[in-house]
Amino acid sequence: MGIDVGSVTTKFAALDKDSQLASSIYLRTQGKPIAMIQQGLRKMREELPPGIVVRGMGATGSARYLIGVIVGADVIKNEITSQVVATLRYVPEAQTIIEIGGQDSKIIILRQGIVIGFGMNTVCAAGTGSFLDHQALRLNVNIEEFGQRALQSKNPVRIAGQCTVFAESDMIYKQQIGHSIEDILYGLCQALVRNYLNNLGLGKDILPPVVFQGGVAFNQGIVRALKESLATEVIVPPHHEVMGAIGAALLAKEEVERGNGTKFKGFGISEADYHTSSFECKACPNLCEIAQISLNGRVLARWGGRCDLWERMPAS
């Protein structure tokens, strides 16, 4: 099993003994990663056959260390590694991976299955799914309908997409002068893709096969805009929204097949009462904010500093 907890979504993937996807869950994190991890585990237990044995657990995403402590992960890997491992399983000849999530986006350049370069955007919202969410809300358009309505565009309008603030004011102006919602929606798709390629894609040799994954890959308007901008076919793999979790599960399988038993604590942890808190470290002038997680008054783990001082300290 693999779990990928990001700032916007939490994904679960369970693989069978042949590494085929047996079940997956896609949840909104809602700023409550621990609650979503527990909710996801409960849903997984319901969906999988009774008496199922989890032989390995992998964790990835921005909250991967938190996941690892809670569930007892056998392997904890960054998003780049997890995405690549999963992508190469479905598209082994991939040379470029475009991943756009709710709050961040990534580009990974591969040659012969080896990562030779990558870029991440964790700051600017204009190249992420939250950009589309925000503008869809402003236009009173359901985000699930966004892509299909964008595909109906006949004369897409150019939206200034370098910044969400500029995009919104430009979009309002385009509405006021009479452009259709469909043309504005596709203009927003083009703006997101333009922003992504001008930032993360700048200076990178984007070669096909190009694989597009992440939650935003559900949006067919973005898929079309990518194809037009890159002038090449764009592959959206199966289970594209949970690729990070699939990669974490594949990595966990590799780890436990080396002969080590799993550290997974069992589905019962979905009912445990975890508590998170933070404090300021005064060991040096950096004054890092250290996060910690506790269960029944016992600190399980600490993290968040620029050095590994608190990670090295035994839990109390």
Q: Is the pLDDT of residue 164 over 70?
A: no
Question: Between residues 248 and 290, which one has the greater pLDDT?
Answer: 248
Give the pLDDT band of residue 143 (cuts 50, 70, 90): confident
Identify whether the C-beta of residue 60 lies closer than 8 Å to the C-beta of residue 78. yes
pLDDT score of 170? 80
What is the spatial order of strands in the sheet that 234-235 belongs to?
A: 114-121, 105-111, 96-100, 210-213, 234-235
Can you tell me the distance from the alpha carbon of 6 to that of 81, in angstroms, rounded to the nearest whole number?
A: 15
Which range (55-59, 158-162, 232-236, 242-246) has the least confidence?
158-162
Average pLDDT over residues 82-110: 93
Superfamily name with CATH number, domain 93-236: ATPase, nucleotide binding domain (3.30.420.40)
pLDDT value, residue 138: 80
Closest CA to 174 of 190, 163, 189, 185: 185
pLDDT, residue 234, reads 97
User: Residue 165: what pLDDT?
Assistant: 63
CA 90, distance to chain mean position in Å, is 18
Domain 93-236 in the same topology as domain 2-88+244-271: yes
User: 187-210, pLDDT tens digit by residue?
Assistant: 989 988 988 898 899 899 999 999
CA distances from 261 to 44, 251, 258, 266 (A): 21, 14, 9, 13
pLDDT at 245 over 60: yes
* Distance (Å, whole) CA 242 – CA 9: 10
Q: Span 208-218, mean pLDDT?
A: 93
pLDDT tens by residue, 19-71: 999 999 999 888 888 899 999 999 999 999 988 899 999 999 888 888 888 99
pLDDT at residue 297 in the model: 82
pLDDT at 7 over 80: no
Q: How confident is the model at residue 98, as a pLDDT?
A: 96
- Whether the predicted pLDDT of 79 surpasses 80: yes
Question: For residue 159, is pLDDT > 90?
Answer: no
Beta strands in the chain (DSSP E): 2-5, 9-15, 21-28, 58-60, 75-76, 96-100, 105-111, 114-121, 210-213, 234-235, 274-280, 289-295, 298-303
pLDDT band at 292 (very low <50, low <70, confident <90, very high): confident
Domain boundaries, the chain: 2-88+244-271, 93-236, 274-312
Pick the CATH number of 2-88+244-271 from 3.40.718.10, 3.30.70.1890, 3.20.130.10, 3.30.420.40: 3.30.420.40
Tell me the pLDDT band of 162, cut-offs 50, 70 and 90.
low
What pLDDT was estimated at residue 295? 87
Provide the mean pLDDT of the chain.
Answer: 88
Strand partners, 111: 114
